[in-house]
Amino acid sequence: MTLLLLDTHAYVWALTDPARLSRRARTAIEAPGNALLVSAATAWEMAIKHRAGTWPEAELLLAQHDDLTSRLGAQSLDISTADAIRAGGLDWDHADPFDRMLAAQSLLRQAALVTRDAAFGHLRGLSIVW
């Protein structure tokens, strides 16, 4: 079994347009033996972008977040104090707080991060699926 943490775009595409995922990412997400996680940081990022008007379509996803996460076969992952400390302390020249949180949560749980974002490739020790 592989533990996978879905980045925000991977989560949304898995729900709304799986063809946008890479073949490797789609196969990993759909594999019955893999465990999927969706971070609270994903809902937080979606809510901020929706409120700012940059992602109006996120309203429905947010309203049904728990149900959609469950239908995907994923577990919600809360943000812990340990996650926050690790995210803030990462030796990584990347300022996006959501990316830093996802990276920290992946590292602390030894989960592969499902993402197409090349910025994560600069973080040593992080396993990426795309």
pLDDT tens, 59-72?
A: 999 999 999 999 99
Mean pLDDT of 28-56: 96
Q: Take residue 126 and report the two structure tokens written for it.
A: 């992080």
Domain ranges of the chain: 3-129
Q: Take residue 87 and report the two structure tokens written for it.
A: 């995210």
Q: List the helix and strand counts (H, then E) for the chain.
A: 7, 5
Helix (H) or strand (E) holding 74: strand 74-77
pLDDT tens, 69-84?
A: 999 999 999 999 999 9
Where does 3-129 sit in CATH, by number? 3.40.50.1010
Task: State the pLDDT at residue 43.
Answer: 97
Task: State the pLDDT at residue 61.
Answer: 93
Contacts of 52 (CB under 8 A, 6+ apart): none
